[in-house]
Structure 1
Amino acid sequence: MADWGTRPASAADVEAVAALRAVVLRADLERLGRYDERRVRQRLRDGFVPEHSRVIEVGGAFAGCVSLRPAEDAHWLEHFYLTPPVQGGGVGGAVLRDLLDRCDRDGLVVRLNVLRGSRARRLYARHGFVVESEDAVDVFMVRPRSVPGRRVPG
């Protein structure tokens, strides 16, 4: 696995993350008949909150983003994107494990939505997320509050 780390996101990161989102989601959105590059980027801009986000770096270079947004009944895992060269090398699993370990220490329920047919769904399932509901585009998943002594393999 590559040498990776995270740093706090800033407002200056929004365009790099929006561009990455357009690349990463393109194939799944095209398959679902919903790809519009301008809209994909704008939705990121509209929902990006630097205070809840971390930029992922590999070898000191931008490699992705992940956000954990607090909500009333859970925290939402959002904007989890990795550049294509980094995907499949274990960085995503390591980032997710680190984030979920912190959530477990705080006793947090974590929710997310993933596009139907996305390969990312398998990553989330390996980390304890289960399907809560689905619609024509999204699969909504939840990872319940940690049970003492439980360790989800990753």
Structure 2
Amino acid sequence: MPAFADRKTAVVLCAASNNDLEDLVAIRIEAMRESLERLGRFNPDRARERFVGGFDANSTRRIEVSGDLVGFVVIKDHQSELLLDHLYVIPSAQGAGIGSEVLAQIFREADETGRPIKVGALKESASNRFYTRHGFVFVESGEFDNYYVRSHCNSVALGDQADLDTMPGQRLHR
């Protein structure tokens, strides 16, 4: 397994295929294990079944660092919004800025089309802090998950001297 401390290493999002399914299931189970065990809800068979049942390679991108598969992201393109359905990074690669870089790439895509991004996060999971730290705002809570939205950020032309302030927690992408 490569070292992930070097933040200059590019995080690359690549199209997934149906051939990636088993690797992605393994990543999901590994990444979810700690949070679900803490809640007494870890069931690898159920985690596999739920993911396989909704898998769509066209909405899924592999997360690669130095050519190694370290995670994946699923973005469902709804007419008025993007749904960040899954974002998993293997535990050994967490904390190295990979998830933040993936979000930055997704934010650029959402901002270019002027659409918000919605996401759900398992209650009691560290992912709740991750999403709020990156500008997502809590919207509601369900039985097992908290739901967040990140409004799009209007782009400002380079050289524009307009007020460059953004909403708290949002970045201005230029």
Q: Verify same fold: TM over 0.5.
A: yes
What amino acid is aligned across from residue 83 of structure 1 in structure 2? I
- Structure 1: 5+ residue stretches without partners: none
Q: What is the distance in 2 between the residues matched to 1:105 and 1:3? A: 22
1:127 to 123, 134, 137: 134
The residue correspondences of 1:1-154 to structure 2 (distance < 5 A) are: 1=7, 2-149=9-156, 150=166, 152-153=170-171
Deviation at 1:141, TM superposition (A): 0.7
Supply the distance in 2 between the matched residues of 1:86 and 1:39 (Cα, whole angstroms).
Answer: 24
Distance, in Å, in 1 between the alignment partners of 2:136 and 2:46 is 28
SS in 2 for 1:85: helix
How many aligned positions are there? Answer: 154
Q: What RMSD in Å do the two structures reach over aligned CA positions?
A: 1.8
Identity of matched residues, %: 32
| Structure 2, unpaired ranges of 5+ | 1-6, 157-165
Displaced runs of 4 or more, over 6 A: none
TM-score, length basis structure 2: 0.81
CA shift, 1:135, in A, is 2.3
TM-score, normalised by the number of residues in structure 1: 0.91
CA separation in 2, counterparts of 1:34 and 1:73?
33
* Amino acid corresponding to residue 60 of structure 1 in structure 2: G
Question: Shift in Å at residue 10 of structure 1?
Answer: 0.5
Question: Which structure: larger Rg?
Answer: 2
Mapped partners of 1:147, 1:132: distance in 2? 21
